[in-house]
Structure 1
Amino acid sequence: MVSILVIEDDDAIRAAVQRGLRERDFAVTAVGTGIAGLEVVLREHPDVVLLDLGLPDVDGLTLLGMIRTAVDVPVIVITAQDDDPTMVRALDAGADDYVVKPFGTDQVAARIRAVLRRGGRGADPSAALRVGALSIDPGTRVATLDGRRLDLARKEFDLLLLLASRAGQVVSKRELLAEVWQQGQNYGAERTVDVHLSWLRRKLGESAAAPRYLHSVRGVGVRLVDPDGPDAP
């Protein structure tokens, strides 16, 4: 059974989310403070964390950074703050998704299933994707280049996995936002994609000016190719 940790200070919302997710066959632990939530993360290693930003004892984005430093767990921000700058800061800080209150339990459950799919839960560890000397394993979430393990953040790995699953095809920023961030297109979100692609290029030993694997198609999107294969420019 998938285990969920809800970190939410509002008693009514916390109880409603906990009850709704349990009715949908999730195992749910719910706490009302950030420090209590961090203790549960470290002790119980939940499959997904639902994190409110407006906590009474610690800033939600600060707590997100603490969680990211400690463990690799999907975090979905649940908050009443629906402005683009806060959303961008949360996604850049490592949030896997962002849900604005009020929300329905079915919506949250769908977001949970989506981040688990992107994380490769239940995937065949042998089903690695290979593009040239690049190998991406969705089961173990390990990517290697020329046999060397790449030190990728969660979003960088998710981007690489999506592009590798569609190697040779141009993937638009709109699709990247929808699949990796579960967000619609806007200026701030598009800039977030650009930043993560820049970081990913650097870790692949290339740049936008001198691409090898990641090639931008102006006004369309980006595609991942084997630099020595027939699809290479």
Structure 2
Amino acid sequence: MNSAQQSILVIEDEAQIRKFLRISLVAQGYRVLEAGCGREGLAQAREAQPDLLVLDLGLPDMDGQELLVELRRDSQVPVLVLSVRAGDGEKVLALDGGANDYVTKPFSIRELLARVRVLLRRTSPPGQSPGTVQCGPLTVDLDGRRVGLGGRDIALTRKEYDVLAALARHPGRVVTQQQLLRDIWGPTHVEDSHYLRVVVGHLRQKLGDDPADPRFIVTEAGIGYRLREHAP
């Protein structure tokens, strides 16, 4: 699907920002829908079935975090949060609530457009998941539970594989510490971040990935980790 066939719903109460986003997105060939409040945005999301939502959190009739929870009850449309709220707590809450990415205001339109392209490129029909994920020389075979690096197999422990696979299912997207701990260690371990740090450290050693200049696994400080889409 090319960008001319893709629609983006912007839910934002500031008219000037909506106008700026509309001009920028239309120039890239996207069809743009707009809503100035949360209830209107939810109605449009359900009626128009857009390919992507750009969501502000500070809406006049409801908080964007609340909108996200309500949206996720019946929709898996990709959501890019665009908010002035820069705290780690807000980011983690949004990402755990179902947002796919988070950009803070003031923002670079070039960066935002790049993130839009990534999210739209990763959209796939419900029920489908990538069988094999490639990041430069790193290959993660999700069906066969195998990991290769430069053509040779890498032996991982169960937890190391589970963490890498969780990141590989969402390349380019931040997966929060809480989500990883809950899904891999269980709901009673969501505060045990040291478990995750140790496993990621071992994983990086086996992949030869320098945490100061990572090729594969990037740390988003205070939030979580993401697997690069393309190795530098």
TM-score, normalization by structure 2: 0.62
Deviation at 1:24, TM superposition (A): 0.8
Taking the aligned partners of 1:30 and 1:79, their CA distance within structure 2 comes to 16
Taking the aligned partners of 1:103 and 1:56, their CA distance within structure 2 comes to 21
Q: Counterpart of 2:111 in structure 1: which amino acid? A: Q
Checking the alignment, whether the CA contact within 8 Å between 2:55 and 2:79 is kept in structure 1 is yes
Checking the alignment, whether the CA contact within 8 Å between 2:118 and 2:172 is kept in structure 1 is no
Checking the alignment, whether the CA contact within 8 Å between 2:37 and 2:61 is kept in structure 1 is yes
Deviation at 1:37, TM superposition (A): 0.4
1:220 aligns with 2:202: yes
Taking the aligned partners of 1:91 and 1:84, their CA distance within structure 2 comes to 10
Partner residue of 2:213? none
Structure 1 residues 33 and 166: CA distance shift in structure 2, 3 A: farther
1:119 aligns with 2:134: no
State the secondary structure of the residue aligned to 1:219.
Answer: helix
1:24 aligns with 2:15: no
Taking the aligned partners of 1:197 and 1:118, their CA distance within structure 2 comes to 23
Q: Counterpart of 1:20 in structure 2: which amino acid? A: S
Deviation at 1:195, TM superposition (A): 2.6
Deviations 1:19-68 (A, max 9, x none): 11001111101111001101101110000000000000011111001111
Q: Counterpart of 1:86 in structure 2: which amino acid? A: E
Partner residue of 1:101? 105
State the secondary structure of the residue aligned to 1:6.
Answer: strand
Partner residue of 1:176? 167
Q: CA RMSD in A?
A: 3.3
Checking the alignment, whether the CA contact within 8 Å between 1:88 and 1:192 is kept in structure 2 is no
State the secondary structure of the residue aligned to 2:81.
Answer: strand
Deviation at 1:196, TM superposition (A): 3.8
Deviation at 1:11, TM superposition (A): 1.2
Structure 1 residues 60 and 112: CA distance shift in structure 2, 3 A: same
Structure 1 residues 99 and 218: CA distance shift in structure 2, 3 A: closer
Unmatched segments (≥5 aa) in structure 1: 121-139, 144-156, 200-215, 224-233
Partner residue of 2:13? 9
Partner residue of 2:41? 37
Structure 1 residues 196 and 8: CA distance shift in structure 2, 3 A: farther
Taking the aligned partners of 1:80 and 1:70, their CA distance within structure 2 comes to 27
TM-score, normalization by structure 1: 0.62
Taking the aligned partners of 1:107 and 1:37, their CA distance within structure 2 comes to 24
State the secondary structure of the residue aligned to 1:142.
Answer: coil
Unmatched segments (≥5 aa) in structure 2: 134-139, 148-155, 187-197, 207-232
1:190 aligns with 2:177: yes
Deviation at 1:14, TM superposition (A): 1.1
Taking the aligned partners of 2:202 and 2:15, their CA distance within structure 1 comes to 45
- Residue of structure 1 aligned with 2:91, choices 87, 92, 105: 87
Identity among equivalent pairs (%): 33
Deviations 1:57-96 (A, max 9, x none): 0111110011111222111111011111110000000001
